[in-house]
Structure 1
């Protein structure tokens, strides 16, 4: 990354920047090599649907076992960096134990379990598998979005990550973009689901359409209220203040996004072809976005991420 790019992006966009003094915690032992990005591991391919939705299909097949293991290791480390943000003890303590292959004593476990528990539970009181899959799907969206900072004349200006709890009320994600020529801001509100049962991905996408359509303004109002207490620059504050109005008016500064995490065997070749019917006013370029992240057996992958996080308990 160039100096100019670093200065243009707030630190929270890249989960790695949250603890820049620490190399990644690694259990997959890539002989000292840095984990590859999800963009490299999943080799995403982007499409423009005939009805205007720009979407990305990112797949990691089950037969690439070493890459699946690396992806789970990377996600575990980045999730702990993100979940422990603001603490100068929790992530370093967790990372040191991972690197040493050690189990923390009970006192130190109490220091980190509050950061782990809402997403994964603990070995004694685990969260349901559906909850873990949901949080992994949300955080995969966050990490992939953080890696893809530049898209056709616009750059990522801010990225609101998922809640610490997979069922926390509010929007699953918000990406704010800045045009490279003119500097105008725009946003995309994302609804993120997992599809791990026998039903087709299209059924999960339909459920996400309905939920985002019904609750978008509620989600945006919550984000506006939170942002009011934060010290953003005037342009960013103006965008947050107008999130609900821009959405209701289908202004070109507003966009809808749907992301799904699923098994690689279920990855569709076509998707989001009916999204324009659920958001009929959002027909301009970049107002409809989609993402399908399909990794091996998604439930097993999510369990592997959780096992990596729990390895020190």
Structure 2
């Protein structure tokens, strides 16, 4: 988790009339790092054509993905497959083995192949022992979130990304799904705790958002407790270490430095129509008075289950 430089905040009023001390920067205008100026350079955000919530929405959210078709859809699948394997392998040689096989090289044999299969099986299962499709779709939803959060270097209210905890390689692993640290325009560190889910049912997506909101309200303190302990040991920046030291207390106090988010991966026909789909976020966290303390991301693409299967196929092709 590498810190990024904080942009200067010129200090202007947001259109809705709230004073944030920073310009509003739509998520849809961001395309990742400066080097990632085109989709072929590895940026997912432009492919999803994200639409920002209106300025007066009580919850700040984005929805996108309805036009993810054809070549763009394949690019997105390739990006997420690569992200998943990078998370699972880290700097271990298995990542190079997988990439080599994907590029047309020979398959590994013996213990090397077994090692690679062990890594792949956690999130995607194996051709001879397939994983539950719900679990795979949950992992894909988390990968979408992780990539979008990393590409959004500056938030609409001027917060700048400091670090985002990586998503889990096993969607079934208990605990919080996402934790992100930002620096606001007052130069203070703030955090957002996220719950991420896939939605593939006949119920309205608001039901899944409500379930995620309830999980954060009921178990958010436990999620943070699992995350901040190791983080206090690895944090090298004194300011970041101090945030982790006090994070659970800030959560209980519903401090202005804390906040929550819910992210959903689903098919396009489940896309929310208005901020009302996120109403439970406000109901479960009434103390978070700023819209930017309650955030939402909905990636609603054509045939989400089919897309998840394609990512699985790409990962398996490296065995």
| TM-score (ref. length: structure 1) | 0.85
Shift of 1:106: 4.1
Q: What does the per-residue CA deviation read over 1:185-239, in whole Å, with 9 as the maximum and x for residues that have no partner?
A: 0000000010012221111111111111110000011112111221331111111
Task: Tell me what 1:76 maps to.
Answer: 81
Q: Helix, strand or coil for the counterpart of 2:261?
A: strand
Q: Are 1:167 and 2:172 counterparts?
A: yes
**1:80 Cα deviation from its structure 2 partner:** 1.1
| Structure 1 runs not aligned, ≥5 long | 10-15, 18-32
Indicate conservation of the 8 Å contact 1:58/1:293, yes or no.
yes
- 2:312 is the counterpart of 1:306: yes
Q: Which of 58, 64, 73 lines up with 2:64 in the alignment?
A: 58
Question: Is 2:209–2:280's contact at 8 Å kept on the other side of the alignment?
Answer: no
Question: Is the CA contact (8 Å cut-off) linking 1:53 and 1:288 kept in structure 2?
Answer: yes
**Equivalent residues in 2 for 1:142-291 (5 A)?**
142-151=146-155, 152-179=157-184, 181-270=185-274, 271-291=277-297
Query: Hey, what does 2:117 align to over in structure 1?
Result: 113
**Secondary structure of the residue that 1:259 maps to in structure 2?**
strand
Report if the CA contact (8 A) 2:209-2:264 is conserved: yes
Deviation (angstroms), 1:131: 0.3
Q: Distance in 1 between matches of 2:55 and 2:261?
A: 14
Distance (Å, rounded) in 2 between the aligned partners of 1:188 and 1:111: 35
Count of aligned positions: 285
Q: Distance in 2 between matches of 1:34 and 1:107?
A: 35
Q: State whether residues 181 and 190 of structure 2, in contact with CA within 8 Å, keep that contact through their aligned partners in structure 1.
A: yes
Output the CA distance in 1 between the equivalents of 2:55 and 2:230: 34
Unmatched tracts of structure 2, length 5 or more = 7-31, 34-38
Contact 1:49–1:272 (CA<8 Å) still a contact in 2? Answer: no
CA contact (8 A) 2:87 2:169 kept: no
